[in-house]
């Protein structure tokens, strides 16, 4: 690693829910620096989740994150001229980031409707253990499981 590691920045919580994780979701969703657009999408998404489930949307969001978050992932490592896919445990910060990115990507891949509706549907599906984000998690877990034989190459 060259130089010093980047400093850990504190992200201000969002205006409506005063939650740092919701603010991070907005930042991941944001494109081209348009934060107000991302805010509107997330707040509308949470309103839709509240309407359809009659539960606190943050509770549903946290449940979805817990379902979609991976425990293991594979990373490529070169050992003696061969590349191996080695399973590593995922750090909590990366776990949150991956879960958010997978849910956002799955929502963007859905057809029709507005982004808020697609994201709300993906959050509700993920909370139930369904949807494309959940499939992505299962693929990553399956890959790590299949390469457990190379776990001894990992350095912790």
Give the domains, in start order, of the chain with CATH numbers: 20-153 (1.10.455.10)
DSSP annotation of 76: E
Q: Express each pLDDT in 10-32 by its tens digit.
A: 999 999 999 999 999 999 999 99
CA–CA dist 90, 74 (Å, integer): 9
Range 66-87 average pLDDT: 93
| pTM of model > 0.75 | yes
Range 82-100 average pLDDT: 95
Helices and strands per DSSP (H, E), number in the chain: 6, 2
CA–CA dist 113, 41 (Å, integer): 12
**Position 154 pLDDT exceeds 90:** no
């Amino acid at each position: 690693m060259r130089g010093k590691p980047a400093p850990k920045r504190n992200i201000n919580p969002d205006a409506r829910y005063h939650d740092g994780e919701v603010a991070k979701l907005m930042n991941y969703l944001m494109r081209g620096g348009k934060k107000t657009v991302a805010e509107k999408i997330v707040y509308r998404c949470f309103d839709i989740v509240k309407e359809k489930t009659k539960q606190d949307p943050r509770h549903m969001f946290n449940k979805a994150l817990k379902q979609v978050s991976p425990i293991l992932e594979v990373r490529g490592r070169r050992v003696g001229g061969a590349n191996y896919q080695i399973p590593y445990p995922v750090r909590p910060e990366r776990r949150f980031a991956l879960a958010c990115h997978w849910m956002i990507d799955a929502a963007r891949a859905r057809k029709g409707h507005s982004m808020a509706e697609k994201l709300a549907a993906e959050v509700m599906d993920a909370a139930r253990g369904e949807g494309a984000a959940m499939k992505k998690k299962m693929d990553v877990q399956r890959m790590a499981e299949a390469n457990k034989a190379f776990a001894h190459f990992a350095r912790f």
